[in-house]
A and B are shown apart, each in its own frame.
Chain A
Amino acid sequence: NAGVTQTPKFQVLKTGQSMTLQCAQDMNHNSMYWYRQDPGMGLRLIYYSASEGTTDKGEVPNGYNVSRLNKREFSLRLESAAPSQTSVYFCASSDRDSGYTFGSGTRLTVV
């Protein structure tokens, strides 16, 4: 049982480049989330998807887009990367009353 799988694990981008972070879960959870984690800031919600076919903005959505491809997969896209988007990105999933299950993260550096 893999849980939540994120790819890639590490990425270096140049300012202005685009990329998509992939996330897949095999727990049949309805809800999926993207968080970013920065030193001294705690985890902050970027976007979430409460169910297949729906997405909503979180606390820090600017500069990002998401796609809920199907029940299993939820991707995060940076259209034009900026140094301020250097961070560790975590995908998570949950069912209605369960604790969130997190992936192992993507470490992104924008130079």
Chain B
Amino acid sequence: EDQVTQSPEALRLQEGESSSLNCSYTVSGLRGLFWYRQDPGKGPEFLFTLYSAGEEKEKERLKATLTKKESFLHITAPKPEDSATYLCAVQAVATGANNLFFGTGTRLTVIP
């Protein structure tokens, strides 16, 4: 059974204090791993897709990495506007592009 576990559930950082969010996954053949950002009262917003172990992608202060068992979302020198819930999702080869299986998210708060 596909499983996605995100840690920590919540994280409070001072502005400029770098850290990492973890996404551990179990899936029978990974087709892709996705990261999303969700602001309160809004839908998830796509950030990255990673397809194979060793792959990395960057966008502004965010960098996502992938191994065979987990993905990390590294946040460098965060700003208050980076406060949001970050969601990880996996897509299995068996289900193709027709399902994203989501974790429960990490709620990030960046304090000025």
Identify the A interface with B (CB < 8 A). Answer: 4, 31, 40-45, 48, 50, 56, 58-59, 90, 92, 94, 96-97, 99-105
Most buried by A among B89, B97, B102: B97
A97 touches B99 (CB 8 A): no
**Looking at chain B, what size class is its interface with the partner chain?**
20 to 34
> Of B41, B45, B97, B105, which is within 8 A of A42 by CB?
B105
B104 touches A31 (CB 8 A): no
- Please name the residue on chain A nearest to B89 by beta carbon: A43
Which 3 residue pairs are nearest across A and B when measured between Cβ atoms? Answer: A102-B43, A99-B46, A43-B102
- Please name the residue on chain B nearest to A95 by beta carbon: B97
A-contact 0/1 string along B96-112, CB 8 Å cutoff: 01111011110000000
> Of A42, A59, A105, which is within 8 A of B43 by CB?
A105
Q: A48-B99, A58-B99 are in contact. Are A102 and B104 (CB under 8 A)?
A: no
- Please name the residue on chain B nearest to A94 by beta carbon: B97
Number of A-B contacts (CB under 8 A): 52
> Of B34, B98, B103, which is within 8 A of A99 by CB?
B34
Q: Which residues of B contact A45 (CB under 8 A)?
A: 99-100
Q: A40-B104, A99-B34 are in contact. Are A48 and B98 (CB under 8 A)?
A: yes
B42 touches A42 (CB 8 A): no
B97 touches A96 (CB 8 A): yes
User: What is the bound-complex CA distance between A92 and B99, given in angstroms?
Assistant: 11
B97 touches A31 (CB 8 A): yes
Q: A99-B34, A102-B43, A102-B44 are in contact. Are A42 and B104 (CB under 8 A)?
A: yes
21 examples of A-B residue contacts, CB within 8 angstroms = A40-B104, A42-B4, A42-B102, A42-B103, A43-B44, A43-B89, A43-B102, A44-B102, A45-B100, A48-B98, A90-B44, A94-B97, A96-B97, A99-B46, A100-B34, A100-B44, A100-B46, A100-B100, A102-B44, A103-B43, A104-B41
